[in-house]
Each structure stands twice: as C-alpha cells, then as structure tokens.
Amino acid sequence: MRFILVACAALLPGCGRQRNSGFAPGAKVLRLAEVNDIPTLDPAAGYDTVSWEFEQMLFSTLVRYGRADVKLHPYAALSWTVSPDARTFTFHLRHDVSFTNGRPVTSADFRYAIERVLDPKTSSKGMEYFRGIVGAAEFSAHRTPHLSGIETPDRWTISFHLAAPDPIFVDKLAMPFASAVPREAVEKWGNNFSRHPIGSGPFILKQWIGGQRIVIVKNPNYFIHGEPKLDAVVGLLGVSAELEWLKFEAGEIDVSAIPTAEFAYVMKTPSLKRLTLHQVTAATQYLGMNCQMPPFTDVRVRQALNYGIDKQKLIALLNGRGVVARGVMPPTLPGYAPDLTGYPYDPGKARNLLAAAGVSHDFAPELWLLADQTVLMIGQSIQQDLALIGVNLVLKPIALGPLLEAVRQPHTVPFMVFGWEADFPDPSNFLEVLFAKSQWGANNDTFYYNPQVDSILREAAPIADLKRRYALYQQAEKIIVADAPWILLYNPVAYVIRQPWVHDLVLNPMRPMRLETVTVSAHGE
C-alpha cells in the first residue's frame, strides 16, 4: 500500500485530559492525531496507510493478519480450503456477522465486494489483485452481469475459481478491497458511500468533518466477543507533528511519533524509553522518476540521481531510524535479494552520467512531496545533494489527496517522494504492483515499462515452489534496479511512544495499528 512518510507510518492514537468530552462519564475514548485528512473510507477505493487505518476498523474481510505478525487467521470466515492446483478457494462463513444496519453478512456480500472492485466504474486500485478470477475480463468489460468465477452455493459458502494457479490468493483477500459491503447502501449513496460507510467491523462511523475531526464508536453487535474494548475513537485531523508532540508532553495525546529533535532525549531517558515501541517495517522509501517525461526517459539521468544522493545522511537526519535500501524489496520480506548493492553515494559518477546524457546545468526538476515537516526536511537534504551535481531541485509541497490523484495521471508528476509498504509477504506485491505496465495509472507511478521484466513477472506469478518463485522475482528486481525508475532511499524503522495509561498497543510490520483490543486506564488522566 502507499506508504506516506510522516513522523510515523501509522495514525497516532491519543487521549486528552478531557477524554470523555461529549461522551457518557466513564466512557473509554481514544483520540487520534493525524497530519492528513483521510482520503477515503470506501474499502474499494482506499490504498494508503491513512485510509486503511480506519477502513480496517469499520469493515471485515474473510481473513486477516495477526495484530503483531503476518500470519493469516480466519475473520468473517470460519475456515477455508484450497484445491491442490491452487485454483479453487472455498470459504465457510461465520453465521453471526452483521452489517451495522442490522442485516446479516452473507456470501453474496463478499461476491458483490469483489465485483465492485472489478467494475471499471469504481476505479479501484485493487482491480489487479482479482483479475485472475475466471470471467474477470468479461465482467470488467460489462459483457456479463456477474463474475462467473465466484460461486455462492448457499448464504455461508463462497468459492473463488481462478484461471491460473495463484499461491497467494488468500493473502489478497485479507486486503480491505475484499471487505464485505452491502449493495443496498452502496447503491443508495453512490460516490458518497465513503461518507456513509456501512460495514461489519468493530466500530461505526459517527462523524467525519473533512480535515478536522472523525469520530467512530463501538459496534455493540460486533461478532468477536469482548471487542472492541474502547467505547469510541476520536480523530483530530490536520494536527502538525510539532503540535502532536506538545500535546503528548502535556498528557493530551496518548501515543505519538518521536520527532527528530526529541529522539535522542527520549532514548536516553529510561522512564520514556520504556514506553516506546518500534518495528522494522516492510516498506521502502523512494523517489520516483516518471520514465515517460524527459529527461527521466534516459536511464543515465535516473542512475545519476541515484548516485547523487547521500542516503546515509538522510538516515542520520532521522536519528538512524532506517537502513539504506539496496533494492526495491525491504530486507524483512521473503524473497529479498541480499546480493543487490544499490547505488552508493558517488557524486563524481553522477556528474559524469549527467554529462554523458547531455543534461545542462539549468536542469531544475520539480519534486512533488507531502506538505509535512519530516518530508520537507528530507526534500531539503536531497535538494542540497543534487545541487552538488548541478541539479537545481525545486520542491513542490502538496496535500495527500491531490498528491495521490496526481501521480496516477500520465505526464503530470515528473519526480516524487513516496514509499511502499507490503500488503502481503510476497515479492509480487512490490515488483508486479509497482513496475508492471498493467499498473500504469494505478500503482506504477513512474510509468516504467520493460518488456523483459513484464515477461518474468508473468512467469513467476503462478509458481508455488518458493525457491523458483523467488529466483524469478530476484531476476526481475535486478533489472529494475539497473533501470533505476526509483531512487532507492531507505527501509524505515517505525518508533512510537505511548502514555503509561495506554495498554495492549502493538505495531504490525505490514499494517496500520489495530485498535479493537487497545485499552485505556479508567483514571489515566
């Protein structure tokens, strides 16, 4: 999923001293602070850490990962079976799952969710994950009213039939795209379903004032007994990282990212250090170069900029909270290629490559980046590095929503700061999703295309034998790194700090924090 670099990769829960303001006395209310507004609450549309944080609280999928690991567990499904050829997947649903409008969730609702993702009218970035279902092409072209590769023989059984083996199909069903949604609510609200989401998750949307505030409350009919433990979550939107830390120090925010200026102090103070959590993320931070926009059409220019940026300096600016990226894949994921060396800092080689490409000294590319203090700090460091090789970088700060939309448009964004965090633990989630030509206008924001890479990715996709599968993906990754559509920066390490009255908070290497089991002490003020 799209990883937006701010002070922390996840939204930040917090409780103010006025914890129960607007709620009954004694209510357990958790507050969030977030610099960005939420792009969407429609699970078919969201594909970023901010949207997924809330979508996973409002909706349920057939399966999901553990709170602190990447192991699959049943969720709205009781169990599932996979055919020996990895082409048929059958799920048996729980009978006690209901939408928050009171209607039971059935197999037809999961079928509708996938059909909605595959309908081009939805413009879902999740479409590529389900194109392998039998009949997907015909359905997406509106030649058939239903997806022939999904069967619902009864209310509690759903089977998916694939045109080719897909050993990671169950992982794809753990993504919010595959969340059950009620057809009647989607048809009632249309494009405004994001503002009126009806799901079957642990919480219900009560209020969302764009850019200011979101309130979700406990779903009293949630199908997992004893959850959620909170009565409500209040999200304050548009809160800067500086204000967030001040609120944390004042006891008004429960969980905070640790600003660069405060990190050394926190880690040297035992009473604070014991309240920190950290997690090596399954993410890669990068600069993307639009391979269809000159001069980034020239591989020498792309390689030059890779050599021209001092990644160790960037990591030092972040208090060492990262490791230099030497490939597309983060080292925490299976299939990582340890022999890749990336692009060590070499400004002399960078200048030579630019000269060979005929790039003049008035080259002034525009770098689009999130309007956030941490991101701007990184942008300014990159600006200084590139000035040393004769590149006059121009920074273009922009809000999250417009940035996500702009990168989907061809010939629009020449140069961007972004990151990618794994949706599931497989190389395809980086290499196919981000570099296949089929992803132009979706997740391939650099509009990169190499027919050899596409061929290898197609060959690798159906292979269940992990040794063969990973070898092919490593072959593709080696070519991609040489083609340099990305400037490889680093793999982040996420740190957060909590107040002592917050309990059962955990970080996941691949997902935003889940809040349904988080608790706050009754007298935490």
Tell me if the bond preceding 228 is cis, omega within 30° of 0. yes
CATH number of the domain at 395, please.
Answer: 3.10.105.10
State whether 23 and 152 are in the same domain. no
Place of tokens 């002034």: 364
Tracing tokens 């949207």 back to the chain, one arrives at 51
DSSP summary character for residue 215: E
Q: Assign 4 a pLDDT band (cuts: 50, 70, 90).
A: low
Question: Tokens 């905070």 map to which residue?
Answer: 256
Indicate whether 380 belongs to any domain: yes
Sort residue 426 into left (φ over 0), alpha (ψ -120 to 50) or beta.
Answer: beta
Any domain includes 137: yes
Q: Cite the beta strand spans of 212-341 per DSSP E.
A: 213-218, 232-237, 255-257, 276-280, 283-289, 322-324
The helix/strand/coil state of 101 is: coil
Those residues whose C-beta lies under 8 Å from the C-beta of residue 142, and which sit 6 or more positions away, are none
- Please report where in the chains the tokens 């040393």 appear, as a residue: 388
Tell me, yes or no, whether 83 and 212 share the same domain. no
pLDDT tens by residue, 301-336: 999 999 999 999 999 999 999 999 999 999 988 899
What is the 3 state secondary structure string of 91-111? Answer: EEECCCCECCCCCECCHHHHH
Helix runs in 86-240, H state only: 107-118, 136-140, 169-172, 183-189
For 189-220, what is each residue's pLDDT tens digit?
Answer: 999 999 999 999 999 999 999 999 999 999 99
Cβ atoms of 368 and 382 closer than 8 Å: no
Q: How wide is the angle at C-alpha 102 spanned by C-alphas 101 and 104, nearest 5°?
A: 115
Pair (364, 421) in one structural domain: yes
Whether residue 222 sits in one domain with residue 92: no
Residues 211 and 324 in one domain: no
300 and 399 co-located in one domain = yes
Torsional class of 86: left (φ above 0), alpha (ψ -120 to 50), beta (otherwise) = left
Quick: pLDDT tens for 127-169.
989 999 999 999 999 999 999 999 999 999 999 999 999 999 9
pLDDT digits (tens, 9 = 90+) for 88-140: 999 999 999 999 999 999 999 999 999 999 999 999 989 989 999 999 999 99
pLDDT in tens, 423-474: 999 999 999 999 999 999 888 999 999 999 999 999 999 998 999 999 999 9
Question: Cα dist. 425→84, 168, 171, 477 in Å?
Answer: 21, 9, 8, 16
User: What is the Cα–Cα distance from 221 to 229, expressed in whole angstroms?
Assistant: 13
The pLDDT, as a whole number, for residue 522 is 61
Whether residues 434 and 457 fall in one domain? yes
Does residue 47 fall inside a structural domain? no
Q: Is 379 helix (H, G, I), strand (E, B) or coil?
A: helix
For residue 295, cis peptide bond before it (omega within 30 degrees of 0): yes
Domain ranges, residue 376:
283-492
What is the number of domains present in the chain?
3
Domain harbouring 136, CATH code = 3.90.76.10
Cβ atoms of 353 and 301 closer than 8 Å: yes
- 414 within 8 A of 296, measured Cβ to Cβ: yes
What percent of the chain is predicted at pLDDT more than 90?
A: 78
The DSSP symbol for 17 reads T
Strand (E) or helix (H) holding 494: strand 486-498
